[in-house]
Amino acid sequence: MLEATPMMSTPKCHPIVSLHPDTILVKRTKNPVSPSIACSLPRKNFKITAAKPEFKPQNNSNPDDENKWLTKKDGAEDVDFGWLPAFPHVLTASMSNFLFGYHIGVMNGPIISIAKELGFEGNSFLEGLVVSIFIGGAFVGSISCGSLVDKLGCRLTFQLDTIPLILGAIMSAQAHSLDEILFGRFLVGLGIGVNTVLVPIYISEVAPTKYRGSLGTFSQIGTCLGIIASLCLGIPSENDPHWWRIMLYIASIPGFVLALGMQFAVDSPRWLFKAGRFDEAKEVISKIWGPSEVDKAIEELQSVIKNDGADLDSSWLELLKEPHSRVAFIGGALFILQQFAGINGVLYFSSLTFQDVGITSSALASLYVGLTNLAGALCASYLMDKQGRQVLLIGSYLGMAISMFVIAGAINFPIDTEITDNLSILGTIMYIFTFAIGAGPVTGLIIPELSSNRTRGKVLGFSFCVHWVFNFLIGLYFLELVEKFGVGTVYAGFGGISLLAAAFSYYFIVETKGRSLEEIEMSLYQSRNNIK
């Protein structure tokens, strides 16, 4: 879900929070061949084979139902609106990511005014603590989300999670002491931590198979829009030292919208089936996937899920057993590689890079970065179901590596000041754009797709906890590495890690484009005995 932050004008010790961003709609071409995909390392115990199983629905579907959402012109298919029934529900869930982006951007400029008004101006440790305690709350929220979503379902968990989001924003806005704003920021982080896990689960389980990739990128698009909104609303803070309170009050509004919107949204049909609410699951499937999909979907669900409530009692210890441990390893490794590929560091130094070419306003530089990130996310929404997850992930990391090497070369082997500055700007923009196309949205989408219905919440919770830990560590030590080795050397290191991430994606990631979650689970997990 990740995912990029704007530059932060924060002290040296500040950990920098990153995004996850994770979509819009695309058309998948039909492949008449049922491929067999094998991704393996030399070690046999990590071999993944994903052969697509065939399902034969008991009842023949009505051809008219299949074309329900197709507009025909001159006897040919013109526009496919099959994504439309699920769109409002995905859009509502993506409001959580809008909040995520907003709360990341809301502290960029006002932290100086906050420190001055609350009496800790000049204390870089306390200023950093106000920013980084958000990560602590997010870690706790992520680890708790798996159990919450198993017991309560996505819809109710969304609504309950708006409580810390709303209270945290209001408490931060009304803070008159350091303790109050720290507690408010922790509550906000707690809510964001739950949502970063919950949104990819919900979208992956609600979206039709054909559009799951495109709709999945809505989380990243929401995050980008949240950052841009906070940057735009933060402009008056340059002249009004108390404007930060208004900005934090505004942050509570999307929480109310999310709580109300979820009252009208559907719950995950997979969770309803696991909970034994069989008729409700069929009703939701008919509503958002179409009546013709009900029989096939129910048959697939029956092949991998118990509908007596037994699958609601998954344990964290199951992640230590195969095949769940393999997916948890992939999820954690993807987020570690994402962080070590340098997204936070590049964003932190991008303000200095823009200053070198005359863009002295940090807000304007942040806006350029936010718009670049948004453009990449929109491209990802178009390409996700066309090119596939693995191709985008590999291409994204290769693009990030090239970008880092371009900047490192310009810094370490300067020819002309103007050329160096231009190459640095080009490399920075290219890095952020290529990150937003794959490494950001694909990471948050592929993990729930590879997870089993039984342990999806736990695997996502573990993976995002790993993300928050390494997010914190990279933000904490990045500047020390720069001081010791230099920007060019550190950027070259980021490029090397990006190449490693591309290789990891080639060997470990199974293509999930155009395949239902149940098809993926059956092919990866093989037998039901492995997931009991």
* Chain segment 52-109, per-residue pLDDT in tens: 444 444 444 444 444 444 444 444 445 667 888 999 999 999 999 999 999 988 877 6
pLDDT, position 359 = 66
pLDDT of residue 412 exceeding 60, the answer is yes
pLDDT, position 360 = 64
pLDDT, position 49 = 44
51 lies in some domain = no
Confidence of residue 358 (pLDDT cuts 50, 70, 90): low
Determine which helix (DSSP H) or strand (DSSP E) holds 48, and give its type and residue range: strand 48-51
pLDDT, position 307 = 66
Mean pLDDT of the chain: 83
> Which two tokens mark 133?
């305690």
Same domain assignment for residues 152 and 242: yes
Same domain assignment for residues 330 and 227: no
pLDDT of residue 23 exceeding 50, the answer is no
pLDDT of residue 375 exceeding 50, the answer is yes
pLDDT of residue 14 exceeding 50, the answer is no
Confidence of residue 41 (pLDDT cuts 50, 70, 90): very low
Contact 116, 241 (CB under 8 A): yes
Same domain assignment for residues 422 and 355: yes
Of 265, 286, 312, the last residue of a domain is 265
CATH number at residue 91: 1.20.1250.20
522 lies in some domain = yes
Of 233, 265, 297, the last residue of a domain is 265
pLDDT, position 12 = 41
Report the percent of the chain where pLDDT is more than 70: 80
Calculate mean pLDDT across residues 374-385. 95
Contact 397, 505 (CB under 8 A): yes
Calculate mean pLDDT across residues 241-260. 93
pLDDT, position 329 = 96
Confidence of residue 145 (pLDDT cuts 50, 70, 90): very high
Three-state DSSP class for 526? coil
Calculate mean pLDDT across residues 35-43. 38
Confidence of residue 374 (pLDDT cuts 50, 70, 90): very high
Rounded to an integer, what distance in angstroms lies between the CA atom of residue 490 and that of residue 124? 24
Confidence of residue 422 (pLDDT cuts 50, 70, 90): confident
Q: Could you give the number of structural domains in the chain?
A: 2
Calculate mean pLDDT across residues 246-255. 94
Same domain assignment for residues 247 and 327: no
pLDDT, position 340 = 95
Same domain assignment for residues 240 and 326: no
pLDDT of residue 471 exceeding 80, the answer is yes
pLDDT, position 247 = 92
Contact 425, 297 (CB under 8 A): no
pLDDT, position 79 = 66
Q: What is the secondary structure of 286-347 as a DSSP string?
A: HHHT-GGGHHHHHHHHHHH--SSSGGG---GGGGGSTTHHHHHHHHHHHHHHHHHTTHHHHH
Same domain assignment for residues 225 and 118: yes
41 lies in some domain = no
Peptide bond into 85 cis (omega under 30): no
Calculate mean pLDDT across residues 231-252. 87
469 lies in some domain = yes
Calculate mean pLDDT across residues 137-146. 95
Q: Which amino acid is at 25?
A: L
pLDDT of residue 237 exceeding 80, the answer is no
Of 220, 237, 265, the last residue of a domain is 265
7 lies in some domain = no
pTM of the complete model = 0.83
Same domain assignment for residues 247 and 353: no
Between 180 and 21, where is the model more confident? 180
Same domain assignment for residues 342 and 470: yes
- Tens digit of pLDDT for each residue in 280-315? 999 999 999 999 999 999 999 998 887 666 778 888
Calculate mean pLDDT across residues 353-376. 77
> Buried (b) or exposed (e) across 490-505, using 16+ Cβ within 10 A?
bbbbbbbbbbebbebb
Rounded to an integer, what distance in angstroms lies between the CA atom of residue 75 and that of residue 88? 29
> Parallel, antiparallel, or unpaired: how do β-strands 48-51 and 36-39 relate?
antiparallel
pLDDT, position 242 = 87
pLDDT of residue 29 exceeding 60, the answer is no
What is the span of the domain harbouring residue 215?
A: 81-265
pLDDT of residue 275 exceeding 80, the answer is yes
Confidence of residue 364 (pLDDT cuts 50, 70, 90): confident
Same domain assignment for residues 371 and 452: yes
Same domain assignment for residues 112 and 251: yes
Confidence of residue 368 (pLDDT cuts 50, 70, 90): confident
Count of Cβ atoms closer than 10 Å to residue 468 Cβ: 28
pLDDT, position 369 = 86
Same domain assignment for residues 254 and 350: no
66 lies in some domain = no
294 lies in some domain = no
113 lies in some domain = yes
